Amino acid sequence: MNGGLDESFDGTQPVARHPKAVSIEDVITFRLQRMVSIGERAGHHWSERLFDLSLNEWRLLALVKSRAPCRAGDMADLLLMDKSQTSRVIKALLSKELIKNMPDPLDGRAISLHTTEAGDTLYARIFNEVLKSNERVLSPLSPEEVQTFNAMLERLIEHSENLLEARLGRDLVR
């Protein structure tokens, strides 16, 4: 069983789009993950120190703020987290009174998530810091390069989501 992997590619064939890769450090997805990991290490430090939130708590709070009313399962999909991990993060945010559960307006049997007033206030403070941080990360690029990079990133994310949906055999929440 190959888990959905293309076993016909053994690494010896020329790759049409990927730059020459001699080691894992040359592989674009590894390099992207490294960039994300650098940002997460720095972000983890300031989010806990300044705001008493883990990065996952911040991300879930921000998604609830932008998508309310929303369901926990949808948040798990958007964050690419398993449901048990998402549940733990939701419980932490509920205990900090940054989000609240309410009956889902589309299905009275279900629960939807909403931010509280405290959650809205904290979100605004953190989002401002996130924007400053992103400005620092993007500072080596010109405004045109940022626009091009953003457009390419959007295309790669959409394509990757399509590949993941095909592998999972179900649609993701987008």
Whichever domain contains 53, its CATH number is: 1.10.10.10
Distance CA 85, CA 93 (A): 13
The answer on 62 and 74 residing in a single domain is yes
The answer on 167 and 125 residing in a single domain is no
Query: Is pLDDT above 80 for 146?
Result: yes
- Residues 30-39: b if buried by 16+ CB within 10 A, e if exposed: eeeeeeeeee
Burial status of residue 4 (CB atoms within 10 A of its CB: 0-12, 13-18, 19 or more): exposed
Q: Which domain holds residue 173?
A: 141-174
What is the model's pTM?
0.84
The answer on 135 and 108 residing in a single domain is yes
What mean pLDDT do residues 4-19 have?
A: 62
The answer on 108 and 170 residing in a single domain is no
- Give the other-Cβ count within 10 Å of 44's Cβ: 15
- DSSP conformational letter for 71: -
pLDDT of amino acid 4: 53
Helix (H) or strand (E) holding 111: strand 111-115
With respect to residue 6, please indicate whether it lies within any of the assigned structural domains.
Answer: no
What mean pLDDT do residues 33-41 have?
A: 93
What mean pLDDT do residues 156-168 have?
A: 95
- Give the other-Cβ count within 10 Å of 158's Cβ: 11
Type of residue numbered 21: A
pLDDT of amino acid 107: 83
Tens of pLDDT, residues 84-94: 999 999 999 99
- Give the other-Cβ count within 10 Å of 115's Cβ: 20
**3-class secondary structure per residue, 23-67:** CHHHCHHHHHHHHHHHHHHHHHHHHHHHHCCCHHHHHHHHHHHHH
The answer on 104 and 42 residing in a single domain is yes
The answer on 153 and 130 residing in a single domain is no
Distance CA 51, CA 98 (A): 12
The total of structural domains in the chain comes to: 2
With respect to residue 75, please indicate whether it lies within any of the assigned structural domains.
Answer: yes
Query: Is pLDDT above 80 for 62?
Result: yes
What mean pLDDT do residues 162-174 have?
A: 94
The answer on 64 and 115 residing in a single domain is yes
- By percentage, how much of the chain surpasses pLDDT 70? 91
With respect to residue 12, please indicate whether it lies within any of the assigned structural domains.
Answer: no
What mean pLDDT do residues 95-124 have?
A: 93
Distance CA 80, CA 74 (A): 10
Residue with more model confidence, 97 or 9:
97
Average pLDDT taken over every residue of the chain: 91
Helix (H) or strand (E) holding 103: strand 99-103
pLDDT of amino acid 10: 52
pLDDT of amino acid 105: 81
Find the farthest-apart pair of alpha carbons in the chain and give their distance in angstroms, rounded: 57
With respect to residue 24, please indicate whether it lies within any of the assigned structural domains.
Answer: no
The answer on 57 and 133 residing in a single domain is yes
pLDDT band at 16 (very low <50, low <70, confident <90, very high): confident
pLDDT of amino acid 1: 43
The answer on 106 and 58 residing in a single domain is yes
The answer on 103 and 132 residing in a single domain is yes
pLDDT of amino acid 108: 78
pLDDT of amino acid 45: 84
